[in-house]
């Protein structure tokens, strides 16, 4: 993953739990990189090791760490680094979700070697305030992060959302599926 991801984990931890906890996470994870370059590619293992160590150091379930990271990514990292791209996604939550499949195509212009996830978004017949979101990725283990992203999008658009994991890789599918309602 690009260093911007690891920098975001660092930001989440230092802003909410302090530098001393970040230092403990680095030590526990065995990651000996003190400064991540945003445009440099790092092994995915580093990111997962940081998340696992954060769970242990902060005494939080890994699921909670990943959800918090997803929300932080949308509300802080994406706004700071992809503000103009976020603005082109739509004026409301529903429009943004329906434009989400195109979002990473534009991000690929900034990060040409990225292996972005893909999203398939469908309306739920008879319910204009709910959608089905399918998340496809070459990376496993990020379901809770994506759940947090969706919650963060709700906050970004000042819309109360309910996100429900329906089925996914744990059920043998090649994707994770969520229902998002507002």
| CATH number, residue 99 | 3.90.1520.10
47 and 102 in a single domain? The answer is no
Q: Residues 101, 170: one domain? A: yes
pLDDT one-digit tens code per residue, 30-84: 999 989 998 899 999 999 999 999 999 999 999 999 999 999 999 999 888 778 7
pTM for the predicted model, two decimal places: 0.92
Same domain, 95 and 174: yes
Clarify whether residues 73 and 139 are in a common domain: yes
End-to-end CA distance of the chain: 32
Half-sphere exposure of 40 (CA within 13 A, CB side): 9
Range of the domain at 131: 69-181
172 alpha-carbon distance from chain centroid: 22
> Both 56 and 77 in a single domain?
no
CB-CB contact of 134 with 150 (8 Å): no
DSSP string covering 102-126, please? HHHHHHHHH-TT----EEEEEEETT
Same domain for 153 and 107? yes
Sheet architecture: strand order including 118-124: 118-124, 127-136, 176-181, 162-167
| pLDDT tens-place string over residues 146-155 | 999 999 999 9
Q: Are residues 118 and 34 in the same domain?
A: no
Number of domains in the chain: 2
């Amino acid at each position: 993953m690009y260093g911007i991801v690891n920098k975001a984990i660092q930001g989440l931890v230092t802003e909410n739990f302090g530098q001393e906890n970040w230092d403990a996470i680095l030590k526990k994870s065995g990651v000996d990189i003190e400064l991540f370059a945003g445009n440099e590619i790092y092994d995915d293992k580093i990111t997962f090791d940081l998340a696992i160590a954060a769970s242990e150091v902060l005494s939080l379930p890994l699921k909670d760490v990943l959800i918090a990271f997803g929300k932080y990514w949308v509300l802080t990292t994406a706004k700071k680094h992809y503000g103009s791209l976020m603005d082109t996604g739509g004026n409301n939550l529903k429009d943004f979700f329906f434009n989400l499949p195109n979002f990473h195509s534009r991000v690929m212009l900034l990060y040409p070697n990225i292996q972005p996830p893909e999203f398939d978004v469908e309306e739920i017949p008879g319910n204009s305030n709910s959608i089905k979101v399918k998340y496809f990725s070459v990376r496993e283990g990020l379901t809770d992060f994506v759940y947090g992203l969706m919650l963060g999008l709700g906050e970004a658009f000042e819309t109360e959302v309910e996100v429900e994991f329906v089925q996914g890789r744990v059920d043998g599918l090649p994707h994770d599926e969520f229902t998002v309602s507002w």
